[in-house]
Amino acid sequence: MVLYVDMNFFEDYKRSDGRFSHKLRFEELSGEPCLVLNYTQLSKALFEELSPKALILSGFGRSFEDYDVPSFYELNDILHETEIPTLAICGSHQLLGFLFNLNIRAVERLYDQPMRKLRPGEPDHSPTAYHPGYFKEEGFYPVTIVKDDPLFDGLSNPFWVRESHYCEVKELPPDFELLASTPECRIQAMRHRSKYLYGVQFHPEAYVEPYMDGKLILENFFKLARTKRFSAK
């Protein structure tokens, strides 16, 4: 089983059906059923009971400062302890940076970490609806591999994937290594040094013709989950 954890507020989770198209893709590519849970429904005890073959964490629909930090405690404990292959996408990639750079239980509030403000005369791709005045990677972008990893098997360098963000991981956590970058966002992909715990700033699940590299990345991730579970050390 693949466990897909939706990181949106529960009221947003109930209204959205986009995650179900992702569920179908995960099932097709993994050959496993995919269970979707909101992050508020997940506990360490439930996670241990489910014992999924792979864990995927979704992007975020709101800013970090809108979330209560204690709501991340259970997920923090799971991510620090589990050996199950894990892929954290976009906002969850940024959350991974917070959880492994900080003692989350000593933090009162998390805040967005934008890439940068727009330069004079630089166009704003979303001037009203989405953090006006800040630079955004929005659309399909080339991402450069800086360290070989099984996640990128069969890809060209650079590879092309969907981006939709204005924030980034500012500091690589000490137990992680950098895997991929863009000129504006250095930490596009990272991996824990001793297990298959990945964070990716881009959205591999949002592949469309002719930009299909995200599909191969997911196929590679699920291959790791099938063949090398608990053996990354």
Could you say which of 22, 165, 192, 203 is catalytic? 203
CA–CA gap between residue 154 and residue 95 (Å, rounded) = 28
**Cα four-point dihedral sign 147, 52, 76, 69:** positive
Helix (H) or strand (E) holding 130: none
CA dihedral 168→172→178→184, nearest 10 degrees, is 30
Residue 106, phi then psi, degrees to nearest 5: -105, 5
Tokens of 176: 């992680």
- Could you confirm whether 165 is annotated as catalytic? no
**Cβ atoms 152, 179 nearer than 8 A:** yes
Contact 182, 202 (CB under 8 A): no
203 is catalytic: yes
Name the catalytic one among 22, 74, 90, 168.
90
| Active-site residue, 65 included | no
d(CA 59, CA 50): 22
Beta bridge partners of 56: 4, 87
Q: Which residues pair with 197 in a beta bridge?
A: 86
Supply the DSSP string of 48-73, one letter for each residue: HHH--SEEEE---SS-GGGS-GGGGH
Which residues are known to be catalytic?
A: 90, 203, 205
